[in-house]
A = this chain, B = another copy of it.
Amino acid sequence: MAKVRVNCFSISLDGYGAGPDQSTQDPLGKLGEDLHPWLVSTRTFKSMYGSSDQGTTGLDDEFARRGTENLGAWILGRNMFGPVRGEWPDETWRGWWGKSPPYHVPVFVLTHHARPSLEMEGGTIFHFVTGGIEEALRRAREAAGERDIRIGGGVETIRQYLKARLIDEMHLAVAPVILGKGEHLLHGLDLNELGYQLVDRSNTEQATHLSFRRT
């Protein structure tokens, strides 16, 4: 059966998945970029963004690659789609990723504010879901068929799906940095109680990779 997965979600040593004060300059909040050197240096990431750079192979790349495999739909929180808050003033904001986002499948964006679906180049369609995480997942399952659904983030979206015990597998990458403030991924959540088990831990120069599975 199709799985609901988190992959390549980066947190700091002190547990933050994004810095504070997200803006168009700081899409990941202050210091948030420091979470992702392990990922952006990989061959998988570079080829997704059309870089001519080769990028690293090895374990970081292996995790990046696995994160892209067998996906039929994505779910994103609205803040991951963009910095706009409240009602959409118009339809000019089309995501952080330019004309051809790196998803290539339907992407369901959680929001309180309705907006028509948005078809991008390369197969990505953004659908705006106002009915909450369960509706988003139901629609993502329909779109994905046999393939998996990836919960892309941000922190608040993953927390909601964890609390609802709807995530089957979660891969976190702990970057060797301290953020000190921002959005904490696990504060107040008890992964043991929610049924998650650590099934793998591997280290690279730039990250500690933790893989959890719900049992």
Copies in the assembly, this chain: 2
Which residues from chain A sit less than 8 Å from chain B, CB to CB?
Answer: 13-15, 174, 176-181, 184, 186-187, 189-193, 196, 198, 201, 203, 208, 210
Given known A-B contacts A187-B187, A203-B203, A210 and B180 have beta carbons under 8 A apart: no
Secondary structure class of chain A's binding surface, majority of residues? loop
Contacts of A174 in B (CB 8 A): 13
Interface contact A13-B190, CB-CB below 8 Å: no
Q: A177-B198, A203-B208, A208-B208 are in contact. List 6 more A-B contacts (CB 8 A).
A: A178-B191, A180-B190, A180-B191, A180-B192, A187-B187, A203-B203
Separation of A150 and B176 alpha carbons in the complex (Å): 25
28 contacts between A and B (CB under 8 A): A13-B174, A13-B198, A13-B210, A14-B15, A14-B186, A14-B191, A15-B15, A15-B186, A176-B198, A176-B201, A176-B210, A177-B198, A178-B190, A178-B191, A178-B192, A178-B196, A178-B198, A179-B192, A180-B189, A180-B190, A180-B191, A180-B192, A180-B193, A181-B190, A187-B187, A203-B203, A203-B208, A208-B208
Contacts of A196 in B (CB 8 A): 178
How many whole Å from A71's CB to the nearest CB in chain B?
26
